[in-house]
């Protein structure tokens, strides 16, 4: 055994404690059920479209950590230019659940982004590929 092990143990313990404190301070919840997708339920709520009648229908949004990280990295990569991307997820009562996001290959200016045929083709290919591997969120 090396003499570094007690130090490593105390560092991982303090890191773990800091992480738990951060989770508590930010009301982080680990909910595996939120990722379950019920196609019939989603199709039914999309058919009714309650958000069209009530502009304040959605009260909360839940964003998966990886989706948020991808959004932030994409936004930062644009520098001072506009960027464009899409989010994928589902509706859960009055909550939007974002489980993934992806950047679109478009060129932006300081004030706008215009999606061309290439971006539309990319969106279609990405969503088709997601469905092909079992990621059904729209």
pLDDT by residue (tens digit) across 87-123? 999 999 899 999 999 988 887 777 777 777 888 888 8
Q: Is residue 138 part of a domain?
A: no
Of the chain, the percentage scoring pLDDT greater than 70 comes to 91
Q: Is residue 11 part of a domain?
A: yes
Output the pTM of the full model: 0.67
Helix (H) or strand (E) holding 89: strand 85-92
- Whether residues 21 and 56 share a domain: the answer is no
Ramachandran bin of 99, using left for φ above 0, alpha for ψ from -120 to 50, beta for the remaining angles? alpha
Structural domain count, the chain: 2
Q: Is residue 137 part of a domain?
A: no
- Whether residues 2 and 65 share a domain: the answer is no
Q: Is residue 111 part of a domain?
A: yes
- Whether residues 12 and 61 share a domain: the answer is no
- Whether residues 6 and 70 share a domain: the answer is no
Of the chain, the percentage scoring pLDDT greater than 90 comes to 35
- Identify the domain containing residue 93 by its residue range: 36-132
Helix (H, G, I), strand (E, B) or coil at 112: coil
């Amino acid at each position: 055994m090396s003499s570094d092990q007690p130090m490593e143990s105390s560092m991982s313990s303090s890191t773990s404690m800091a992480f738990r404190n951060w989770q508590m301070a930010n009301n982080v919840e680990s909910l595996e059920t939120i990722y379950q997708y019920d196609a019939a339920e989603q199709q039914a709520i999309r058919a009714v479209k309650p958000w069209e009648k009530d502009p304040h229908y959605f009260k909360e949004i839940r964003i998966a950590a990886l989706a948020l990280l991808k959004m932030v990295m994409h936004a930062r990569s644009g520098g001072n230019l506009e960027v464009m991307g899409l989010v994928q997820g589902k509706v859960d009562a009055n909550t939007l659940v974002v489980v993934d996001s992806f950047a679109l290959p478009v060129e932006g200016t300081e004030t706008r982004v215009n999606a061309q045929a290439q971006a539309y083709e990319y969106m279609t290919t990405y969503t088709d590929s997601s469905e092909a591997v079992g990621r059904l969120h729209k």
